[in-house]
Amino acid sequence: MSVCSHPKIKLEGVPYEVDSGISGLIQKITDRGIRTFDSCEDSFNGGRIFIYFNSGIDIQSFMDVLFASGVDESDQLYMRIKSNTDEGPDAWQYITGVHPIVAKPGEKPTGVTVAVSVEFPAADYYELLRRF
């Protein structure tokens, strides 16, 4: 699905091939039952990772893991996550989209879902891994 041209690998439980540079995080996300349907280790904006979550519930579960110890205003990751792209290059960006629900490739969609993409600085990758 992704137009990313990075080396990819297949991960257990992930319905798409994952860029090898972020495979560790995508596997940890998947192992917690959080669903994604696309990702890229270096998106079009350069130096930024994106992960497309299947639903708002999935991105909420992702955030719940990141802040399992609570929210602290002095947490720099939290400050980047809650900001927006107008607040600098390290701010996280969120995009929503409506996508068809398809049980198997080639089958007719059975409905739609509101999916959420998050794009963040690649420099945050190891902190996300640590929190997962």
**pTM over the 0.75 mark:** yes
Number of domains into which the chain is organized:
1
Q: Which amino acid is at 132?
A: F
Domain assignment of residue 96, yes or no? yes
Q: What is the rounded distance in angstroms from the CA atom of residue 18 to the CA atom of residue 11?
A: 7
Assigned domain for 2 exists: no
Domain membership flag for residue 1: no
CA gap 42, 75 in Å, rounded:
24
Q: What is the pLDDT of residues 85-128, one digit of tens each?
A: 567 788 999 999 998 887 777 889 899 889 999 999 999 999 99
Residue 75 domain boundaries: 8-131
- Dist. CA 31–CA 70, nearest whole Å: 22
Q: Is 77 within a domain?
A: yes
